[in-house]
Amino acid sequence: MKVLIIHTSYKYKGGEDTVVTEEIKLLQSAGIEVELLEFNNYKNALLKLIQLPFNFKSYFKTKQKLAVFKPDIVHIHNLHFGGSASVIYALKKSKTPFVTTLHNFRMLCPSGILFFNGKTFLNSLDENFPWTAVKLGVYKNSKLVTFWLGLSMYIHQILGTWKVSNRYIVLSEHAKKLFLNSKLGLSESQLVIKPNFSSIPVLKEHQAEDYFLYVGRLSDEKGIMLLLSVFSSCPYTIKITGDGPLKEQVIRYSSQYPNIQFLGISDKIEVFNLLQTCTALVFPSIWFEGMPLTIIEAFACGTAVISSKTGAMETMITNGYNGLHFKSQSEPDFKLKLDTWFKMDEKQKKQYRLNAHQTYEDLYTPVKNIEHLLTIYNAVISESEFKYLNKVQK
């Protein structure tokens, strides 16, 4: 099998870029021939943004790659905005079957994350055209750019471009429901759930210390201000590692409260060490996360997660089994769950940790992921061949 991966990489490497890199390695380890067609937004960004409805350079670049590599299937991860929908038309022209992973909600709202001004933003789900998003400037606080993004998506919605993908891979049941009930008109057979995965670290005996851990982006939608407010008014220690726009706020709080410790940016090995020694991971995110790798990595390390009950976290974490839920954006409930966890005896906590690792083994290992991914690929290729034979016979 020959697989072509298409991805527009981000200026600052994030979760999507990591998933693409890891999936390529995973496919190659299974003996699959893989090549990457990569676009970016670093160079000539304004020109690429203007060409978002149809980027002719991306169209011809995709056509050329298809002609040379001749893949059996193509897997799209991100087309925003350097790739553009022109890639889909190149695939359609070549009659190459393809699947698309929906890492975010860009097709539903210009915000991309259904979050704006400190809270979830769902107005675009109920509007034929995202006028409210435009008026508010939900994309980088720009009404003009938000309008252009909204218009570009709307044009292709009218043209039926988004219906062409043979399969859409969504990361959770929550995301599937959002896309299935959206104005895009996708069929249930087009949407298949396949979570992300993590390679298992070298586990050592879990000797948990009395500190909680936060790993990730230091930003509003991640619930950082909620986390700082909670831990500044409770006795528990929190170690924070990551980077982002609220970094200075984290530094300020850590200088005022000894129990809030900011570690800066940590590499993978350091993160795994922290995950294996913390008492639990806290995940206070207040937006609809796709499939947080940090939670999967925590499970791989046998670490329970205390998380807001929203988006993917609602199904990833089973309350009372591999972690605890608290009501999204609720400071009192967050504190209550920290208290609940801290007061548990070690036997109870050990069971949570065992359950967390079992969750990883059941759902998030590389072996489970490659099996699922190849099942999707093979089904799409078979369907495409069947349709071709039927057309020839007619």
pLDDT in tens, 338-359: 999 999 999 999 999 999 999 9
Please report the pLDDT score of residue 317 as a whole number: 97
- As a whole-number percent, the residues of the chain with pLDDT over 70 amount to 96
Residue 234 and residue 165 in one domain: no
Please report the pLDDT score of residue 206 as a whole number: 61
Residue 204 lies in a domain: no
Q: Which residues contact 273 (CB under 8 A, 6 or more apart)?
A: none
Please report the pLDDT score of residue 375 as a whole number: 97
Q: Which residues contact 181 (CB under 8 A, 6 or more apart)?
A: none
- Say if residue 29's pLDDT is above 60: yes
Residue 141 lies in a domain: yes
- pLDDT tens digits, residue range 115-172? 999 899 999 999 999 999 999 999 999 999 999 999 999 999 999 999 999 999 999 9
Please report the pLDDT score of residue 15 as a whole number: 77
- Say if residue 202's pLDDT is above 80: no
Residue 205 lies in a domain: no
Residue 121 and residue 264 in one domain: no
Angstrom distance (rounded) from CA 122 to CA 17: 26
Residue 229 and residue 104 in one domain: no
Residue 56 and residue 120 in one domain: yes
Please report the pLDDT score of residue 12 as a whole number: 64
Please report the pLDDT score of residue 186 as a whole number: 94
Domain count for the chain, please give it.
2
Comparing CA positions, the residue from 172, 209, 380 lying closest to residue 296 is 172
Please report the pLDDT score of residue 392 as a whole number: 47
> What is the 3-state secondary structure of 210-223?
CEEEEECCCCHHHC
Please report the pLDDT score of residue 290 as a whole number: 85
Other C-beta atoms within 10 Å of 4: how many? 23
Tell me which residue range forms the domain holding 81.
Answer: 2-198+366-393
Residue 89 and residue 173 in one domain: yes
Residue 370 and residue 322 in one domain: no
CA dihedral 210, 288, 366, 362 (to 10 degrees): 70
Residue 239 lies in a domain: yes
Q: What is the CATH number of the domain that holds 52?
A: 3.40.50.2000
Comparing CA positions, the residue from 91, 69, 80 lying closest to residue 167 is 91
Contact indicator for 310, 328 with CB cutoff of 8 Å: yes
Residue 163 and residue 297 in one domain: no
Residue 215 and residue 168 in one domain: no
**pLDDT band at 95; cut points 50, 70, 90:** very high
Question: What is the mean pLDDT of the segment spanning 203-226?
Answer: 88
CA-to-CA dists, residue 107 to 47, 87, 114, 239, angstroms: 21, 15, 11, 36
Residue 305 and residue 236 in one domain: yes
Residue 218 and residue 312 in one domain: yes
Q: How many residues does the chain have?
A: 394
Question: What is the mean pLDDT of the segment spanning 288-308?
Answer: 94
Residue 206 lies in a domain: no
Please report the pLDDT score of residue 45 as a whole number: 85
Least confident among 78-82, 293-297, 387-391: 387-391
**pLDDT band at 385; cut points 50, 70, 90:** confident
**pLDDT band at 43; cut points 50, 70, 90:** confident
Q: Which residues contact 241 (CB under 8 A, 6 or more apart)?
A: 213, 214, 215, 262, 263, 264, 265, 266, 270, 271, 274
On the CB side of 112, CA atoms within 13 Å amount to: 12
Residue 352 and residue 297 in one domain: yes
Residue 165 and residue 242 in one domain: no
34-57 core/surface letters (b: 16 or more CB in 10 A; e: else): beebebebeeeeeebbebbbbbee
